[in-house]
């Protein structure tokens, strides 16, 4: 039975890593679910304090990811129209042009939003780059958290190797 659970955990972890790149799928929470499945449904045990700490980290990282792209647009001088354009562009990009739309959508959306505020082209490009910077930073933070769970589980499954 443990082999089935470990295979399920690996599948959930992979889904969590994919979710780090696709904003509709919450990567770190899904990866955390893999940790919970591993803890509660296998014969292996993870310290409960560790589970609580990682739950808090996953919540913080998820909130950070939601905030950082908006902050990137605002930090580079974007207004509400650029922020909304970034969000709308992300949604349209994911739906119409996956996977490249994940990057192009927020860029074009924030650029168009900035142009609607009568920004010059250079300023609008700077704002659009802020949207991409926030997206990339959020993705890297989510990915680092989701990737951490892999060695954690491997370490618990194979303690004699360490």
Question: Where do the domains of the chain lie?
Answer: 2-161
Give the pLDDT confidence of 13-24 residue by residue, as tens digits. 999 999 998 877
On the question of pLDDT at 41 being above 90, the answer is yes
Contacts of 36 (CB under 8 A, 6+ apart): 51
User: What are the DSSP calls for 123-136, one per residue?
Assistant: HHHHHHHHHHHHHH
Percent of the chain having pLDDT more than 70?
Answer: 98
pLDDT tens per residue across span 119-152 = 889 999 999 999 899 989 999 999 999 999 888 8
127 close to 119: Cβ distance less than 8 angstroms: yes
């Amino acid at each position: 039975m443990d082999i089935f659970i470990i295979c399920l955990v690996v599948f959930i972890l992979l889904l969590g890593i994919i979710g780090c790149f696709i904003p509709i799928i919450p990567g770190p929470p899904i990866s955390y679910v893999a940790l919970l499945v591993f803890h509660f449904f296998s014969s292996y045990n993870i310290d409960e304090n560790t589970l609580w700490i990682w739950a808090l980290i996953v919540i913080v990282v998820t909130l950070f990811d939601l905030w950082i792209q908006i902050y990137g647009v605002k930090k580079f001088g974007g207004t509400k129209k650029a922020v909304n354009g970034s969000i709308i562009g992300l949604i349209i990009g994911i739906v119409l042009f996956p996977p490249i739309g994940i990057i192009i959508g927020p860029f074009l959306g924030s650029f168009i939003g900035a142009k609607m505020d009568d920004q010059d082209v250079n300023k609008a490009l700077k704002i659009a780059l802020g949207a991409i910077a926030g997206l990339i930073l959020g993705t890297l933070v989510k990915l680092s958290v989701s990737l951490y769970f892999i060695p954690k589980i491997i370490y618990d499954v194979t303690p004699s190797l360490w």
